[in-house]
A and B are shown apart, each in its own frame.
Chain A
Amino acid sequence: MSALLEIRDLSKVYPAPGGAGVRALNRVSLTLHRGEVLGIVGESGCGKSTLGRALLRLIEPTSGQVLFEGEDITALDRAALKRRRRDLQIVFQDPFGSLNPRHRVGAIIREPLDVHRIGSSPERAARVRELLTIVGLPEDAAGRYPHEFSGGQRQRIAIARALALEPKLIVADEPVSALDVSIQSQIINLIADLRRRLGLSILFISHDLSVIRHVSDRIAVMYLGSIVETGPAGTVMETPTHPYTQALLSAIPRPDAAGRRERIVLKGELPDPAHPPSGCAFHTRCPFAMPVCTADPPALVPRRHDGRIREAACHLYEPAGAETPHAA
């Protein structure tokens, strides 16, 4: 697999009165391969939505690069960015807020084609019908208004709009979080199916680990603007390395008959990103914090964990390149 998207040291800092500002995104680096689903997971305020928006330049990043097929998106002028946006589309969480209630569904799905002046009027109409079929809606939906549809159907409309320009990459920002469980599974299936049929690459952002686990090839876990752990989905979920990933996993209640289990309950809440803790941002809540953690921010590099090499930002594990191997 070749890299479709390479994010290098991407940061977003919001100015704040009398200080360093709020660092919503702190030097994030990621690679997304062609045809891959990369899951971004973390709690509210961790920067996962900022990441999704900054890489599309819906929010202007403060520093860093976003290489899409080798071209730096952050360096593009308006006209070049508009052309590039054909390849990068986004689906938002709220299927009620993201569709204009005064437009018919056909006009909503056709809008990207209008904006980019693609096809003649009858060709656009045909494309709208095709897109409705792709996402599992009847063709006559084009003539109706968003309020006539349920939450799950609206999310299908939003997905159809995102697909209109045949993008290579879709950023899906909490696409199923607002939906009931029985509807969630339909949309998850639809996204998985589209990925296979259309060869899409997807950055799938969610706070729900079980959803992320289900859809992703690889996972990146975020905490307070930084990635703390990344790796293949199965590896991260079954043998989490970073203590935050471990706590996050153990906090998910599981719907089975096994009942209650031992849980790592973290102290406190996410620290204020305007005043992030020194050293490792997680040390204020970490059950294994050591003196070094308060002083020195750990790098996200390959480290040794139980004889395996894992990519995590945590001082508990020796960097894999170090001379002294971690006592196993």
Chain B
Amino acid sequence: MKASFTLSPRLLPLPARGERELGGGEREPAPRMTDPLLSVENLSITMAGTPVVEGVSLALHPGEMLGLVGESGCGKTVTALSILQLVPRPPGRITGGRILYKGKDLLALEGEALRRLRGDRIGMIFQEPMTSLNPVFTIGAQIEEAVLLHRPVGRAAARRRAVELLDLVGIPAPARALERYPHQLSGGQRQRVMIAIALANEPDLLVADEPTTALDVTVQAQILELIAGLRRDLGMAVLLITHDLGVVAETCDRVAVMYAGRIVEAAPAFEIFSRPRHRYTEALLRTIPATNPPGTALPSIPGSVPRPEPGRWRGCAYRPRCHAPVEPCDGVRPALDGPAHRARCWNPAWGPASNPDASAA
């Protein structure tokens, strides 16, 4: 194991592009820690007219790691994709809200300004490393492309950079590895290549959608270690989308739990795991084998995540599966309430109940 992944000292300093607006290569003045780097405000997204994300707000500060968790179909991936305008349109449509990156609205960007930001200041790792890499190009060409698109350097410099990046993400014999095609690599190696591409220009923000789900646990441990090192050394912020509560507990500063297109609970990681408030979070934590004595019957959540449908419910979306419903759950949607530990629940496992959601009226 390398002692640490110090990116900057080991990588060539790359020249910045000539002119820069948002997304230019040069670092902007260091933001104050109190300003969020990324701020998603009241985001709503529909797919073919059906709401899939409703009123989602998130804030991510420099160097911070935020975990976005929930079951399949709860809207995590669509939320992440919308940050870089990667939601396919149609059928997708952003119907409300803003996404501010360093105070500028990402949803208002288009064309060159958007391309300049993608893969430069904001990197993204997608879930499936096999389908995210182009099978007919060598991995060297794909990493170099990420550099050449954003920096005024020649092929030789881009190639040197690619070698450094592969070394950084722990691929043995990196110069030789550049000549290989995606199918010649293992799943773990492909995921490392994806990470190398996402990190090629030392982004301020990394959006990582299930970056370790397809990997073995020992490889997952390596990748998580790598991401932690880059946060420490570069002050990179990370939005981690995952269904693995164990990964969240060990890596994230804060957690947001999504259910049926909405955030139902948001709090510091320690709080979520020691005192979950929303009954969904509580149930999720209870169902996993690791929190139960071996051989005992596991608590389970009946039913499954409801499919999105237009104008789906008035009350709490989790009501049909909840183990502790109370009277208002059926008719009135609870607001995401609380100071540091917010939850959208009429009968929380801990702390005071929510108020009615004013926006639902």
Fill in one digit per residue for A180-198: 1 if any B CB lies within 8 Å of its CB, else 0. 1111111011001100000
Nearest-neighbor residue (CB-CB) of B247 within chain A: A253
- B287's partner among A182, A260, A267 (CB-CB below 8 A) is A182
In the assembled complex, B246 has its CB within 8 A of some CB on chain A: yes
Fill in one digit per residue for B242-284: 1 if any A CB lies within 8 Å of its CB, else 0. 0111111111000000000000000001100110000000011
- The complex places the Cα of A267 from the Cα of B218 at a distance, in Å, of 9
In the assembled complex, B187 has its CB within 8 A of some CB on chain A: yes
In the assembled complex, A3 has its CB within 8 A of some CB on chain B: no
In the assembled complex, A102 has its CB within 8 A of some CB on chain B: no
In the assembled complex, B357 has its CB within 8 A of some CB on chain A: no
Contacts of B218 in A (CB 8 A): 43, 247-248, 251, 265-266
Inter-chain contact A255/B1, CB cutoff 8 Å? no
Fill in one digit per residue for B315-353: 1 if any A CB lies within 8 Å of its CB, else 0. 000000000000000000000000000000000000000
Using known A-B contacts A210-B289, A269-B188, determine if residue A255 contacts B297 with beta carbons closer than 8 Å.
no
Contacts of A234 in B (CB 8 A): 294
Contacts of A150 in B (CB 8 A): 304
Nearest-neighbor residue (CB-CB) of A46 within chain B: B216
- A253's partner among B71, B244, B270 (CB-CB below 8 A) is B244
In the assembled complex, A256 has its CB within 8 A of some CB on chain B: yes
Number of interface residues of A (CB under 8 A): 45
Inter-chain contact A256/B71, CB cutoff 8 Å? no
Contacts of B111 in A (CB 8 A): none
- The complex places the Cα of A270 from the Cα of B216 at a distance, in Å, of 10
In the assembled complex, B57 has its CB within 8 A of some CB on chain A: no
- B284's partner among A44, A182, A210, A251 (CB-CB below 8 A) is A182
- The complex places the Cα of A254 from the Cα of B245 at a distance, in Å, of 8
Nearest-neighbor residue (CB-CB) of A267 within chain B: B1
Nearest-neighbor residue (CB-CB) of B192 within chain A: A269
In the assembled complex, A209 has its CB within 8 A of some CB on chain B: yes
- B217's partner among A251, A257, A259 (CB-CB below 8 A) is A251
In the assembled complex, A213 has its CB within 8 A of some CB on chain B: yes
Inter-chain contact B294/A185, CB cutoff 8 Å? no
In the assembled complex, B300 has its CB within 8 A of some CB on chain A: yes
- The complex places the Cα of A114 from the Cα of B220 at a distance, in Å, of 45
Contacts of B290 in A (CB 8 A): 210, 252, 254-256
Q: How far is the CB of B187 from chain A (nearest CB, A)?
A: 7
In the assembled complex, B42 has its CB within 8 A of some CB on chain A: no
- A251's partner among B220, B249, B273 (CB-CB below 8 A) is B220
Inter-chain contact B273/A181, CB cutoff 8 Å? no
Q: How far is the CB of B67 from chain A (nearest CB, A)?
A: 11
Using known A-B contacts A182-B71, A248-B218, A265-B225, determine if residue A257 contacts B270 with beta carbons closer than 8 Å.
yes
Contacts of B1 in A (CB 8 A): 265, 267
- B186's partner among A210, A253, A267, A269 (CB-CB below 8 A) is A269
Nearest-neighbor residue (CB-CB) of B74 within chain A: A180
In the assembled complex, B285 has its CB within 8 A of some CB on chain A: yes
Nearest-neighbor residue (CB-CB) of A152 within chain B: B304
Nearest-neighbor residue (CB-CB) of B228 within chain A: A260
In the assembled complex, B149 has its CB within 8 A of some CB on chain A: no
- The complex places the Cα of A259 from the Cα of B300 at a distance, in Å, of 24
Contacts of B247 in A (CB 8 A): 253
Inter-chain contact B297/A44, CB cutoff 8 Å? no
Inter-chain contact B217/A248, CB cutoff 8 Å? yes
Contacts of A211 in B (CB 8 A): 289
Contacts of A107 in B (CB 8 A): none
- The complex places the Cα of A258 from the Cα of B246 at a distance, in Å, of 11
Inter-chain contact B217/A182, CB cutoff 8 Å? no
In the assembled complex, B34 has its CB within 8 A of some CB on chain A: no
- The complex places the Cα of A152 from the Cα of B290 at a distance, in Å, of 20
Inter-chain contact B300/A189, CB cutoff 8 Å? yes
Inter-chain contact B273/A185, CB cutoff 8 Å? no
In the assembled complex, B82 has its CB within 8 A of some CB on chain A: no
Inter-chain contact B250/A184, CB cutoff 8 Å? no
Q: How far is the CB of B127 from chain A (nearest CB, A)?
A: 14
Which one of B71, B248, B289 has the greatest number of beta carbons of chain A within 10 Å? B289
Inter-chain contact A181/B188, CB cutoff 8 Å? no
Inter-chain contact A44/B294, CB cutoff 8 Å? no
Nearest-neighbor residue (CB-CB) of A211 within chain B: B289
In the assembled complex, A103 has its CB within 8 A of some CB on chain B: no
Inter-chain contact B221/A43, CB cutoff 8 Å? no
In the assembled complex, B222 has its CB within 8 A of some CB on chain A: yes
Inter-chain contact A192/B297, CB cutoff 8 Å? yes
- The complex places the Cα of A266 from the Cα of B219 at a distance, in Å, of 8
In the assembled complex, A263 has its CB within 8 A of some CB on chain B: yes
In the assembled complex, B148 has its CB within 8 A of some CB on chain A: no
Contacts of B249 in A (CB 8 A): 253-259
Contacts of A117 in B (CB 8 A): none
Chain B contacts with A in 200-223, Cβ cutoff 8 A:
216-222
Inter-chain contact B283/A268, CB cutoff 8 Å? no
Q: How far is the CB of B182 from chain A (nearest CB, A)?
A: 16
Contacts of B12 in A (CB 8 A): none
Chain B contacts with A in 177-195, Cβ cutoff 8 A:
186-189
Nearest-neighbor residue (CB-CB) of A268 within chain B: B172
Inter-chain contact A207/B248, CB cutoff 8 Å? no
Inter-chain contact A180/B71, CB cutoff 8 Å? yes
Inter-chain contact B295/A43, CB cutoff 8 Å? no
- B222's partner among A185, A248, A258, A265 (CB-CB below 8 A) is A265
Q: How far is the CB of B331 from chain A (nearest CB, A)?
A: 25
In the assembled complex, A261 has its CB within 8 A of some CB on chain B: yes
In the assembled complex, A233 has its CB within 8 A of some CB on chain B: yes
Which one of B245, B294, B299, B305 has the greatest number of beta carbons of chain A within 10 Å? B294
In the assembled complex, B131 has its CB within 8 A of some CB on chain A: no
Using known A-B contacts A181-B71, A185-B287, A189-B300, determine if residue A255 contacts B216 with beta carbons closer than 8 Å.
no
Subset of 18 A-B contacts with CB under 8 Å: A180-B304, A181-B71, A181-B288, A185-B288, A185-B289, A188-B289, A189-B298, A189-B300, A193-B297, A213-B289, A214-B298, A233-B294, A252-B290, A254-B250, A255-B248, A255-B273, A256-B273, A269-B219
- Extra contacts besides A180-B243, A258-B249 (5): CB < 8 Å: A180-B304, A234-B294, A256-B291, A257-B249, A263-B225
Closest 9 CB pairs of A and B: A253-B246, A257-B274, A185-B298, A43-B216, A214-B289, A255-B245, A182-B301, A257-B273, A251-B221
